[in-house]
Amino acid sequence: MRMPQVVRQPGLPQRVTIYEVGPRDGLQNESTILPVGVKAEFVSRLVDAGLQAIEVTSFVRPSWVPQLADAEELIKAVDLGAVPRMPVLVPNRRGLERALEAGVREIAIFGSATETFAKRNLNSSLDDQFDMFEPVVAEALGAGLRVRAYLSMSFGDPWEGDVPVEQVVSVGRRLLRLGCSELSLGDTIGVGTPGQVAAVIGGFLGSGVDVGELAVHFHDTFGQALSNALTALRLGVTTFDASAGGLGGCPYAESATGNLATEDLVWQLSGLGIETGVDLESLVATTIWMSDKLGKRPESRVATVLS
Ligand code: MG
């Protein structure tokens, strides 16, 4: 398979982690509901492609997200020890109970940087979301689990518009203080641009947050996802959320197109000589296979060119 010429740039990390969100964030936002066997095969193909962190599903109430209603069944069908990280999203205490019962070793919680999204997504206020997270994170940590936190609307909100950097940093730091070991800054509607990414990440670093605690989650709505990822990379971020084939969007932000496509990110990182552990050919084959199951064409540039 064709690969980019490798030209390294000084100051960049040798290796980064791609946090694959296709099975959860991707499939959650696709209208087609797939059989559990297909999802399990998706996860195992991603493992075979070399992804080291794969968010498998969500223990949200099944009636809320019918696409992921088979979470327990799926967890049973995948090998949770196949890669270092195989987290599940947990929206509340009930979700945590289900996750613990299923034997997962890492959970992710989903916070909001804005008042309006907290209200719409969590039916909570910006402050009150912490009352919900606090016991969940404490119990998860007590059980020896690792906890990642998403901070959605970190770069803009469809109802509120611009979100002040200070607000994003303040809410994000509160999530870290709960005991979360990773904070994923989400450009949920894909409106961020590189200067803004630099400002938000700079805000966190300036407030004493270690860059190793930050991950970034970009959407390609306005074609900025890779530029934003490169900006974060240059600032020292080493964990990047991405979705095979660019699957998914956001049900609360109708304008949002898919996540940054994993294969597009891998192409860029490969050209920079940065290791990800991912085999591009195997990943592209997985994307094409999954697109076929969903009855659509792959959205990513790399899969379109290389298929
Ligand atoms: Mg997303």
Map the chain to HEC letters. CCCCCCCCCCCCCCECEEEECHHHHHHHCCCCCCCHHHHHHHHHHHHHHCCCEECCCECCCCCCCHHHCCHHHHHHHCCCCCCCECCEECCCHHHHHHHHHHCCCEEEEEEECCHHHHHHHHCCCCCCHHHHHHHHHHHHHHCCCEEEEEEECCCCECCCECCCHHHHHHHHHHHHHCCCCEEEEECCCCCCCHHHHHHHHHHHHHCCCCHHHEEEECECCCCCHHHHHHHHHHCCCCEEEEEHHHCCCCCCCCCCCCECEHHHHHHHHHHCCCECCCCHHHHHHHHHHHHHHHCCCCCCHHHHHHC
d(CA 98, CA 95): 5
46, 232, 250, 266: the catalytic one is 250
Distance 246 CA to ligand 1 centre (A): 9
d(CA 156, CA 298): 27
Helix 225-234 to helix 262-271 angle (10° resolution) is 50
d(CA 250, CA 205): 28
Distance 55 CA to ligand 1 centre (A): 12
Q: Return the amino acid letter for 6.
A: V
Distance 251 CA to ligand 1 centre (A): 10
CB 180 within 8 A of CB 209: no
CB 122 within 8 A of CB 132: yes
User: Can you list the domains of the chain with their CATH numbers?
Assistant: 17-306 (3.20.20.70)
d(CA 83, CA 56): 12
Q: What are the distances in angstroms from CA 76 to CA 36, 89, 102, 160, 214?
A: 10, 16, 8, 41, 30
Q: Which residues pair with 261 in a beta bridge?
A: 243
The set of residues, in sequence order, having a beta carbon less than 8 Å from that of 2 and lying 6+ positions away, is 306
Q: Taking Cα atoms as reference points, which of 285, 217, 283 lies closest to residue 249? A: 217
Return the biggest CA–CA distance within the chain: 50
Distance 24 CA to ligand 1 centre (A): 9
250 is catalytic: yes
pLDDT below 70 — which residues of the chain?
249-256
Percent of the chain with pLDDT over 90: 91
Tokens of 35: 């059989």
CB 220 within 8 A of CB 182: no
Distance 72 CA to ligand 1 centre (A): 22
Q: Taking Cα atoms as reference points, which of 274, 279, 214 lies closest to residue 240? A: 214
The tens digit of pLDDT for each residue in 3-30 reads: 999 999 999 999 999 999 999 999 998 8
Q: Can you give the pLDDT at residue 298? A: 87
The tens digit of pLDDT for each residue in 142-162 reads: 999 999 999 999 999 999 999
